[in-house]
A = this chain, B = another copy of it.
Amino acid sequence: MTLMAASGRTPRPGVIWTRPERAGRGPRPAHSRAEIAAAAVRIADADGLDAVSMRRVAAEVGAGTMSLYNYVPRKEDLHELMVDEVSTEYDLETPLTGDWAADVLGLAEQARDLMRRHPWLPRMADSTAYGFTPNALRYLERFLTALDPLDLPPGTKLELLAAVTNTVAGYVTNELAMAERARTLPWSEAEEQAVRGAYLGEQLGTGKFPRLAQTLAGAGAGVESVDYEAAFRRSLKRVLDSFALEAGGGQTSAT
């Protein structure tokens, strides 16, 4: 009896990366994954992640909408292509210094800059899978290589990696939150900021949140006056120091 294998249309579990880009049989594809990924990234950079629709990406590369599905079985896979695409922007060639804290800081800054260039990236990050695209793996490998001088068990090194990643994602998200929000809103970013400021002021004025009022006031109140750059470095230094302490190496250099 012939085994009734799943037909070509039936969705079979699979990762985009294990599917061959070109199947040997039919006419040669008119486009490539890289081309499609680049188009999607262009759209997301310009008009936000929500503007990345199958129709729009197809139009951007000059193909019919449904033709895209020959390259990308589901939209989520397109997102994965996008993450992988921008992951090529990492500079992983410059030699490591051997000072693990400095090297990790450099990698964290690269990740931060990547997210600043592609503000939709943090939103992808909370799907675990996206950290493991082929080019993203190169970043992880580099990160762990930078940790070579550090005497910590493997599990702890992964926790360090996670801590740094969380810190970077958290700070960039905060930094870009307003600007990214404004993209969807039917009014301007300034208006939004004014209105939210008024609301918060009103809440704090009730006296029900004395510590919060006092702390925000003491920290310099206005969200726009926060020095994200400095806060980012301080936070990262704390993270690194906490692991340095655990490895018995004392604090990391001031930098």
Contact = CB atoms under 8 A, between A and B. Distances in A.
A241 interface: yes
Interface string A161-185: 0110111011101100110010011
Contacts of A93: none
Contact of A166 (B169, B181, B187, B217): B169
A interface majority secondary structure: helix
A73 to B, nearest CB: 10
A137 B212 CA distance: 8
A140 interface: yes
Interface string A196-234: 101110110000111110111111100000000001001
B163 A167 contact: yes
A78 to B, nearest CB: 14
Contacts of A141: 208-212
Interface string A97-138: 000000000000000000000000011001111001010011
Interface stretch (A9-17, A34-42, A56-64): A9-17
Given A166-B169, A231-B159, A241-B242, A214 B17 contact: no
A47 interface: no
B187 A140 contact: no
Contact of A195 (B13, B132, B137): B13
Contacts of A217: 154
A215 B76 contact: no
B242 A154 contact: no
Contacts of A211: 141, 144-145, 147-148
The 9 closest A-B CB pairs, nearest first, are A154-B218, A166-B170, A128-B177, A144-B211, A238-B242, A155-B219, A13-B191, A13-B187, A154-B219
Interface of A: 11-15, 17-18, 74, 76, 122-123, 126-129, 132, 134, 137-138, 140-141, 144-145, 147-148, 153-155, 157-159, 162-163, 165-167, 169-171, 173-174, 177-178, 181, 184-188, 191-192, 194-196, 198-200, 202-203, 208-212, 214-220, 231, 234-235, 238-239, 241-243, 245-246
